[in-house]
Amino acid sequence: MKRPCLRLKKLASAVLAISFGVTFSHAQDTPAADVSLGYSPLYVLKGYTIWLNGANSSVAFNANDWFGVAGDFGIYHAYPSESLTGETYTVGPRFSYRKLDRIVPFAQALFGGSHYSASSGGITGGGSEFSFALGGGADIGLGNSRKLAVRLEGDYFGIRSSGATTDAVRLVAGIVYRIGSR
């Protein structure tokens, strides 16, 4: 049986290969902002492993064709041995590469907080904790539309709790709506 970390590394490598392995083409118009909504599992790796299912939404404001500021909110739920519900809220810089025809790969570093309803798997609930996400993904344009895209994202998510960091991996698969242009 493969270890969970090895499978996640292979998944992350595949996403990056697909994002950067396409042919180069003309530059895209840069949207002034974009909003996204999607399914987002959160895989907690510390203590005993917990797979939380949830939803993720984000909004990003683009200062130019490569730099923007993103705000991200997620809500998650699981039944490891008891019901566990959590929310994450982070904000930070997003760096995008807009030289490909329909694919916009991005990297981001988000910082903020989280709150969990119970103590489980190394996460202590009952209060707000510091959280951060380091990762990225790609927005893949849908058809001829410049407004709609599919987002595939993967992030390392660190959750500070009781003086220690709980390691987690967050995946996102969703839809993006692009607003305006720069």
List pLDDT tens digits, range 34-61: 999 999 999 988 666 788 999 999 999 9
pTM for this model (two decimals) = 0.79
Cβ burial of 116 (10 Å; 0-12, 13-18, 19+) is buried
pLDDT at 174 over 90: yes
C-alpha 182/C-alpha 62 separation (Å) is 8
Which domain covers residue 141, as residue numbers?
4-22+29-179
Q: What is the CATH number of the domain that holds 84?
A: 2.40.160.20
Tokens of 125: 């609930």
CA angle 78, 79, 85 (to 5 degrees): 45
How many structural domains compose the chain?
A: 1
